[in-house]
Each structure stands twice: as structure tokens, then as C-alpha cells.
Amino acid sequence: MPNDATPDPNEEQIAFGQRMKILRDRRGMSRPTAAGLLGMSTSWVKQVERGQIGMPKLPVVLRIAELLRVRDLSDLTGDQTAPVDLFIGPGHHRLPAVRDAVNALTLGATNRQAPSPAHLTARLAKAWAARHQAPNHREVIGDLLPGLIRDAQLAVRQADTAAERRAAQAVLSEVYSLSQFFIAYQPDSALLWRVAERGMVAAQESEDPHAIGVAAWLAAQAHRDSGPAHFDAADAMTREALAFLEPALPDADDRTAAIAGALQFEAGYTAARRGETGTAWGWWDKAQATAARLPASYYHPVTSFSQAIMGAHAVTIAVELRAGGESVRQAVAADATAIPSRPRLARHRIEEARAYHLDGQQETALATLERAHEAAPETIRYNGYARRIVLEETESRIPARRQRAAVLADRLGLLAA
């Protein structure tokens, strides 16, 4: 009996070209569009997909993987013997302790008095500051999180009044937000989603606009990073949160205005992932207007939203739209020295490297990734885009560039046996 169903690219017997076509079709991308973004001819793409040309070499495979938002290379190549997840970094040695704290119940009797929400808020402020200052930020917050999680959970449980409970829930929601920064891109996606959902529930229970905005901002990112099938969910999250915050914005404090601006940028980020140029830059303009109302020195501790970050955000929009020349122009215009957070600066350097790589400036891209590594080694080690560029350049035909990429790959742990 004939079967007209779309084949599953995860079945090993499907050839590379068939997998490429299936994944391209799922993204709703035409063959000429894919060819243009890859820098190849339409006939080349057609020949690859029909099996008339075999699997390309690694640099081209990696470019196809990024274009089609493939998370694990085996989904594209069919080689299940050595799966390479480009967007999942290594498991941090503190992950089990954080996981245990998240999963623990605080239902049993305890003789310990929970810290007050004010005390927890002060600890959180120190934790965020430590994260921004540390080159190995997962190490720092991974050490702090288990105690923060348990104490915040206990504070909610021991709250005596509705007001105290709402205040404790707001703190607990932000603790979960900090946890998401630690867990992201580690090999436990179920834990990430559990924390995201608990953070949203706690934020809604708190009825605090800022807590709700932060939880929505992180949840939108989790949806978007799950792939094109979840872009609508990401959009719904950002738009609903913005609609909730809008009535309070005329009189909002800086942190609430900042989370609204961060959500506006997230809407633009998702639009850029869709390839919607006008919509993406339109949201960036709205975020820019929101940033302009903030003090010049203000820097949101969770989202990094500020006047200083808007140049970096412009680079991200241009890169996601795969506009090489515009990406480089925005990278040159952005003032990276104004970003006070080491991990956020490293992330910006990675986006700059993507811009130079798109524009064919591979040597500059590698140099920029080296600067990202200097700012925050853990950030680049867990970043799929950086890993993809480095792996591609280890196959460069230019010996000096190949050697430079190999050194960086070794620093990132990509060459470990």
C-alpha cells in the first residue's frame, strides 16, 4: 500500500539530500531562497536534494544546519553514531545540585525560619551582580542557586498573609529566572521548561507586573529557541505580556519600563527569525524609544535592557535577517564598551562574529570570537552559533586560519575525544 506521508528525517535510511529537502520544506523556505542564503545556485541545491551531488563538506553542512535551524547535526546527516548538538553545551558540574533544589518539595515540617522577601531580594541582587561580573558566570550562580531556590520556596510556604505570599512569589519567580540563565543550553531541556513554567506560575501568583514581564520574556525565548513551530507561541507570549504592561507604562518605574522594552525587542527578534524585515525593525524602533526614556546609566539586571544594549540588539536583528553588509555596519556602529555585563558583552561579540562571517570576513569573525572568549569563556562555550563558526573554520583551506580555529576549538572543548 503506497504511503504518501512526509518521511521522517530522523530515520537513518534517508539520504542527506532528502533530509535537507524535508527540513527546508518544514521551514517553508523555497529552493531559490535557500540557495541565495547559502551562496549557492538553485541548481546546486536541487542536485543535492535529488542525490545527484553527495553530502557537502563540513563547512557547507554546518551552514545548511544553521540556515535550517537544525539543532543536532545527525538530523541532517543521518549519522547517529556521533551526534553533535550545536545548541547544547556540556553539562555543568553544578547542574545536579541545581536540579535537586528545583525538584525538592518543601512539604515536610521544618524548624528553620525562612528568610524574609527583603533578605532574599538583597541576595538576588548580589547574585545578578556576580553573574554580570564573572567570566565563568555559571560557576558563580550555580554555587548560589541551590540555597536561593530552597529559601525562596520556603518563604512562599511560610508566608502568613496574602501580601507576604505575593511578595515571596515575586522573589521566587525571579530566582527561577536566574535559574534559567544557568540551565539554558545544558543537556536537560525538561528541567529548563519546568523552571520556566514554575517561574510564570509564581509571577502570576505575585501579581507583580515586573515579575510577570520577566517570566514572559524568558518563556518567549524558550519557545523561540525550540524552533519555527514555536514562533507563534513566542509571539503570543510577548504580545500578551506587553498588553498587560501597557496600562502601567506611563507611570512605570525604570525596571518595569525596561522589561517592556526587552519584550518589544523579543518581538522583533522573533520577527527577524521569520525573515520579516519591516516588522523586525519596527519592533526595534519601539524598543529604542522605550530605552530612550531610561536614564543613560540604567541597566536592567535580568534582561540587560538599556540604552547601551540597543546597538547590540541592532546587530542581532540584522544577523537574524542574514543581512551580511547591514550586520557589519551595525557591528561597527555599536558601542560594545558601554555593555557592563561580561556574559552579555561576550554574547554581543558572538553576534558581531556572526555578522563578519555572513559578510565573508572569516578572519575577523575568528578574532571577534577570541575577544568573546576573553570576556566570558562560559558564554561562548555554550553558544551554538560560535561553536558552528569555529567548527567550520577548522576545515578552512587556509592553514593559518585553520590553526587559529583549532586553538579556539580546543579552548571550547570541541576537540575533546
The three state secondary structure string of 189-256 is HHHHHHHHHHHHHHHHHHCCHHHHHHHHHHHHHHHHHCCHHHHHHHHHHHHHHHHHHHHHHHHCCHHH
- Mean pLDDT, residues 149-159 taken together: 93
pTM given for the model: 0.80
CA–chain centroid gap for 97, Å, is 23
pLDDT in tens, 369-403: 999 999 999 999 888 889 888 888 888 889 999 89
| Higher-confidence position of 351 and 19 | 351
DSSP for 131-173? HHH-TTHHHHHHHHHHHHHHHHHHHHHH--SHHHHHHHHHHHH
pLDDT in the model for residue 7: 44
pLDDT in tens, 74-94: 778 876 544 455 556 668 899
Look at residue 4 and tell me whether its pLDDT is greater than 60: no
Q: Are 231 and 194 in contact (CB under 8 A)?
A: no
Q: Is 375 exposed, middle or buried (0-12, 13-18, 19+ CB in 10 A)?
A: buried
Look at residue 2 and tell me whether its pLDDT is greater than 50: no
Distance CA 196, CA 200 (A): 6
Q: Where do we find the cell 565573508? A: 360
pLDDT in tens, 243-281: 999 998 888 999 999 999 999 999 999 999 998 999 999
The hierarchical CATH code for the domain 16-77 is: 1.10.260.40
pLDDT in the model for residue 302: 94
pLDDT in the model for residue 10: 46
Helix or strand or coil: residue 90?
A: coil
For a pLDDT cut of 90, what percent of the chain falls above it?
62
Q: Is 213 exposed, middle or buried (0-12, 13-18, 19+ CB in 10 A)?
A: buried
| Higher-confidence position of 2 and 292 | 292
pLDDT in the model for residue 104: 87
Query: What value does the mean pLDDT of the chain take?
Result: 88
pLDDT in the model for residue 396: 85
- Mean pLDDT, residues 335-355 taken together: 93
| Higher-confidence position of 416 and 415 | 415
**What are the start and end residues of each CATH 1.10.260.40 domain in the chain?**
16-77
Distance CA 100, CA 373 (A): 30
pLDDT in the model for residue 413: 81
CA–chain centroid gap for 27, Å, is 20
Q: Where do we find the cell 531610561? A: 294
| Residue 71 confidence class, pLDDT cut points 50, 70, 90 | low
